[in-house]
Structure formats: structure tokens, C-alpha cells
Amino acid sequence: MGEYVQLGNVKTWYDEHGDGDPLVLMHGGLVDARFFEPNIGALAEHFHVYTPERRGHGHTPDVEGPITYQLMADDTIAFLETVVREPADVVGHSDGAFVAMLVGMQRPDLVKRLVLISGGFSKEGEAAPDEEWNVDVIAEFLGPAYGEVSPDGVEHFKVVATKVGEMAAKEPHLQASELAAITARTLVMFADDDLVTLSHMVEMFEAIPDAEFAIVPGTSHFLTHEKPDLVNRIVVDFLTLDPVPLVAPIRRAPNPEASPA
């Protein structure tokens, strides 16, 4: 099913699942909302789930010009304002996680809680920085699925893949100190064999105020498919329950020298 909404010059496609408070799912790069098929059912038991597809991805046609994280964050902000029309939980994977991060930093009024899955904040954290962005190989892997739903046709996939590759060659490029702008309660989740280094994961966790941290064992960047039940349980637990009282906190221990607010 699904429907379109015009957001500036982007005719954005989205679908909806379930009832309850709003939750927006942000897919990764060069895939679409179908990537979350192993996860939507569990989330829709608790939330009204929106699955927008970003410019040039899935059912949403490409537009003239580059694809950048900031443009996709602007599109997402417009979606939240126009379609959701209230603060929402935002769950993103890979590129979608970084887009969600930017939205949380720039429009905290629109984000209740953030779940950032397998998305780093800087290219300096890449686990395989020398890996070639081969559009032909990527097209063999992801092009057929793109062609099944894209109004631009399968032949346009290489255009989008080239744009995303040009973005990925330069971005993301945040400093860890900038993540302090995130005020939403945040869960940082990665695989133990992910596309970013373990040290980068820890740096991101430590830089986001009061973040929570999950490493899914025995998984790669496709952890939402490899162990969907475990990922779903962790995400639903985070989004539906308040933080528990800690018996022996170290990182979160109150600072007796801190001045009262």
C-alpha cells in the first residue's frame, strides 16, 4: 500500500503500521523500507510505525542534484512536521541512523527517543576505510530490489549509487563533541563485527549524554536481519520501559561535587 506526500521538491513515499504513539523508521543507504520487514511487526505491536523512503530510495523518486545527509535530514524534519505532526521516536539503521542523529541534534523538539543502529558519526571510525565503492558490484547486489519499486526504473540505480558514493566519500564528518547536542534519550546499537570500529562505537556512546549501549553478538552490519528477535527485544525494551534503578553505577553515578541545577 503506502502513499505519497510532497515535501518540497521530494515526492516522499511512506507506509504506516500499527497503532499507538508515533515511531519513524529510517532505512539504510541504497535500500528501502522493506529492509525492516523482520522488525516492523514487533514494533507495530506497540507503536504507530511510519516507514518513509528517502529521496532516490525505494518508491521515492530521485531529484536533481546531490544526495547528502543534511538534505535527507531536512526531508525527515519536513516529514515529521507534515505527516507525523507531533514528537516521535526515531529508529534508524546505517545511513538512516546518521540522518536520525542529525534530526535529533537540529530539531530536538521533534524527537522523543532515538535508536541509532550501526551508524557512526565520522568517517574516521570506518572499519574498512580502503574498501572500494564499486557501483557495478553494488548494482548487482541491490539493483534488482530497487527496480522492483522505484518509479525511476532499475537503470537509474547506478545514478543513485554514484550520488550516495560521492556522499560517502566525504561524510559523515562530525566531531564527538558535537553529539552533546542530542538531548533525547538514546540507544546506541551496533553489531560486534560492524562497519565501524569498536573504539568508534565506544566514543559515540560516551559522547551522547546518558546514552545506553548495546552490542549484538555474532552479527554484522545486517544485524536487524541476522538476529531480528534479539534486536527487536532490545529496541522494544528501550522504547517501552523507563530506565531501571542501577545497583552499582559507575558511568552514571551521581557526581557529589556537581552544583545543584
Q: Shortest CA distance to 90 belongs to which of 103, 74, 105?
A: 103
Which backbone phi and psi does 196 adopt, to 5 degrees? -120, 160
**Cα three-residue angle 190-120-7, rounded to 5 degrees:** 110
d(CA 114, CA 127): 24
> Which cell is 110 given?
521533534
Cell numbers at 52, concatenated: 518513509
Residue 257's pLDDT is 63
Q: How many CB atoms lie within 10 A of CB 243?
A: 10
What are 216-243's pLDDT values in tens digits? Answer: 999 999 999 999 999 999 999 999 999 9
pTM above 0.85, yes or no: yes
Measured CA angle at 26 (ends 220, 139), to 5 deg: 60
Residue type, 226: E
Residue 253 vs residue 143, higher pLDDT: 143
Give the per-residue pLDDT at 261: 46
Tell me if 68 sits within 8 A of 10, measured CB to CB: no
For residue 72, which of 181, 191, 171 has the smallest C-alpha distance?
171
Q: Which fold has domain 3-240?
A: Rossmann fold (3.40.50)
Q: What is the mean pLDDT of the chain?
A: 96
Is residue 213 scored above 70 in pLDDT? yes
Distance CA 56, CA 32 (A): 10
- Residue 186 to residue 16: CA distance in whole angstroms: 23
Instruction: In whole angstroms, give the CA distance from residue 225 to residue 220.
Output: 10
Summarize the confidence of residues 150-157 as an average pLDDT. 98
What are φ and ψ of residue 109, in 5° steps?
-70, -15
Q: State the Rg of the chain over Cα.
A: 18
- 239: Cβ–Cβ under 8 A, 6 or more apart, which residues? 23, 46, 47, 89, 113, 115
pLDDT per residue as tens digits for the range 42-81: 999 999 999 999 999 999 999 999 999 999 999 999 999 9
Calculate the alpha carbon distances from 25 to 91, 92, 155, 243, 254 in Å: 5, 6, 27, 22, 34
Copy the grid coordinates of residue 251. Answer: 558511568
Contact call for residues 32 and 57 (beta carbons, < 8 A): yes
Band (255; pLDDT cuts 50, 70, 90): confident
How far is Cα 209 from Cα 186, in angstroms, rounded to an integer?
A: 8
SS3 category, 96: helix
Pure H helices in the chain = 37-44, 69-79, 95-106, 135-149, 157-168, 198-207, 223-226, 228-240
Domain layout of the chain by residue ranges: 3-240
